[in-house]
Amino acid sequence: MIIIAGSSHVKLAQQLATRLKAEIVIANTKKFEDQELKIQITHDLYNKDIIILQSTSKPANDHLMELLLLTDTAKRAGARNITAIVPYFGYSRQDRPSYAYGPISASLVANLIETSGINRLITIDLHSKQAEGFFKIGVKNLDSSSLFIPLFDNQGKYVVVSPDLGGLTRAKIFAHKLQADLVIIDKSRNFNGECEMTSIIGDAKGKDCIIIDDIVDTGSTICKASRLLKDKGAKSVAACITHGVFSGDCLKKIGLAEFDNFYISDTISNSHLPNFINVIPSVDLIANAINKEVINV
Cα separation, 18 vs 157, in Å, equals 39
**One of 217, 236, 255, 269 touching ligand R5P (CB under 6 A):** 217
Between vectors from CA 106 to CA 94 and to CA 100, what angle results, nearest 5°? Answer: 55
Are 72 and 116 in contact, with CB atoms under 8 Å apart?
A: yes
219 binds ligand R5P (CB under 6 A): yes
Cα separation, 189 vs 197, in Å, equals 9
Between vectors from CA 128 to CA 99 and to CA 248, what angle results, nearest 5°? Answer: 75
- CB nearer to ligand R5P: pick between 186 and 217: 217
Are 46 and 2 in contact, with CB atoms under 8 Å apart?
A: no
CB of 54 to ligand R5P, least distance (A): 21
Of 48, 140, 187, 207, the active-site residue reads: 187
CB of 215 to ligand R5P, least distance (A): 4
CB of 29 to ligand R5P, least distance (A): 29
* Phi, psi dihedrals of residue 250, rounded to the nearest 5°: -55, -45
Stretch that binds ligand R5P, among 36-44, 98-106, 215-223, 230-238 (CB under 6 A): 215-223
58 catalytically annotated? no
| Identity of residue 191 | F
CB of 127 to ligand R5P, least distance (A): 6
- CB nearer to ligand R5P: pick between 194 and 203: 194
User: Angle at which helices 250-257 and 220-231 pack, to 10 degrees?
Assistant: 10
**One of 56, 220, 265, 267 touching ligand R5P (CB under 6 A):** 220
221 binds ligand R5P (CB under 6 A): yes
| Identity of residue 21 | K
- CB nearer to ligand R5P: pick between 217 and 260: 217
164 binds ligand R5P (CB under 6 A): yes
Helices (H) and strands (E) in the chain, counts: 8, 15
- CB nearer to ligand R5P: pick between 93 and 140: 93
Q: Point out the residues that are catalytic.
A: 187
